[in-house]
């Protein structure tokens, strides 16, 4: 039996994949913002988003490797710390009551929406980044698991801001993201069990349906205005979730 909100889960997956396909990031943040606004608890939100992402990130990692977009040095330096961070973040999130975490997760997503808007107006000089990669991978994956998204905006944006080549950054970070989502999903499965499978199914169906359109948009839509629009959408949803958490509305 499918719940009454199943179409909303499909819509969340569709919208998140459209944005991710066009920008190369923000699937998790968008889907998490929408699911929390639909009333899904934070731990279940992150668990279901990561479970659905296992399919999309796996395909993305294979594609980037095939096109030569993955830097082996960057991949190796990020991989192990990211997996450890994902496991810790997922375990911590699954150990706390959802209602107490909602305001913090909403505040985090609100900040990430602002980060996306700021990144839309920044230009970065080119250089190879080789330092502080392990802490970046660990922190990015842990926050990603705790907040239901943020790996791309945190890690890819940091590397690009420090001057790393955009194509190589996106490809390498996407390749590592597959292992981040798998590690987080396994941890959630062990600690929470297989829950909210309807949400996972809805996200997956919406994402598959949106994938071709997202790929088409990536070549036709102006990136900067779209990033601003996405940032505003996430900030609006997060503000609403904060107000609900504090019983303002």
**How far is it, in rounded angstroms, from Cα 158 to Cα 244?**
31
**Domain spans in the chain, listed from the N-terminal domain onward:** 6-245
pLDDT score, position 24: 64
pLDDT score, position 180: 94
Question: Per-residue pLDDT tens for 11-24?
Answer: 998 988 888 776 66
Residue 112, CA distances (Å) to 7, 20, 167, 198, 246 in order: 26, 15, 22, 27, 20
> What's the whole-number mean pLDDT along residues 187-210?
84
Whether the predicted pLDDT of 56 surpasses 60? yes
> What's the whole-number mean pLDDT along residues 169-186?
89
Contact between 12 and 203 under an 8 Å Cβ cutoff? The reply is: yes
> What's the whole-number mean pLDDT along residues 177-188?
92
Going by pLDDT thresholds of 50, 70 and 90, the confidence category of residue 249 is low
Task: Please tell me which residue, 171 or 100, carries the higher pLDDT value.
Answer: 171
> What's the whole-number mean pLDDT along residues 151-178?
81
**How far is it, in rounded angstroms, from Cα 100 to Cα 84?**
24
> What's the whole-number mean pLDDT along residues 183-203?
86
Closest CA to 29 of 89, 111, 85, 101: 111
Whether the predicted pLDDT of 1 surpasses 70? no
**How far is it, in rounded angstroms, from Cα 54 to Cα 57?**
5
Q: How many CA atoms lie within 13 A of 150 on its CB side?
A: 32
Question: Per-residue pLDDT tens for 75-127?
Answer: 999 999 999 999 999 998 888 765 677 788 778 878 878 887 887 787 766 67
The distance of Cα 186 from the centroid of its chain, to the nearest Å, equals 17
**How far is it, in rounded angstroms, from Cα 44 to Cα 249?**
23
Question: Per-residue pLDDT tens for 115-159?
Answer: 878 877 877 666 777 788 999 999 989 988 887 777 877 888 778
In sign, the C-alpha dihedral spanning 30, 20, 22, 153 is: positive
Task: Please tell me which residue, 240 or 223, carries the higher pLDDT value.
Answer: 240
Contact between 192 and 74 under an 8 Å Cβ cutoff? The reply is: no
**How far is it, in rounded angstroms, from Cα 248 to Cα 240?**
9
pLDDT score, position 54: 86
pLDDT score, position 3: 62
Whether the predicted pLDDT of 47 surpasses 60? yes
Highest mean pLDDT among 126-130, 181-185, 221-225: 181-185
Whether the predicted pLDDT of 2 surpasses 70? no
């Amino acid at each position: 039996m499918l719940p009454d909100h199943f179409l909303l889960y499909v819509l969340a997956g569709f919208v998140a994949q459209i944005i991710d396909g066009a920008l190369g990031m923000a699937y998790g943040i968008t889907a998490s913002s929408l699911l929390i606004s639909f009333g899904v608890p934070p731990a279940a939100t992150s668990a279901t988003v990561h479970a659905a992402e296992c399919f999309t990130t796996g395909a993305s990692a294979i594609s980037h490797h095939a096109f030569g977009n993955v830097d082996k040095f960057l991949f190796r330096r990020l991989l192990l710390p990211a997996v450890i961070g994902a496991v810790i973040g997922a375990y911590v999130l699954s150990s706390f009551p959802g209602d107490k975490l909602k305001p913090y997760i909403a505040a985090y997503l609100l900040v990430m929406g602002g980060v996306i808007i700021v990144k839309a107006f920044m230009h970065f000089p080119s250089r190879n980044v080789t330092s502080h990669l392990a802490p970046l991978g660990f922190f990015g994956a842990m926050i990603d698991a705790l907040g239901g998204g943020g790996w791309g905006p945190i890690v890819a944006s940091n590397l690009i801001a420090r001057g790393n080549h955009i194509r190589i950054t996106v490809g390498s970070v996407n390749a590592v993201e597959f292992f981040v989502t798998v590690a987080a999903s396994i941890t959630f499965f062990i600690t929470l069990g297989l829950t909210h499978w309807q949400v996972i199914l809805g996200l997956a169906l919406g994402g598959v349906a949106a994938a071709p359109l997202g790929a088409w948009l990536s070549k036709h839509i102006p990136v900067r205005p779209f990033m601003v629009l996405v940032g505003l959408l996430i900030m609006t949803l997060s503000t609403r979730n904060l107000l609900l958490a504090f019983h303002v509305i």
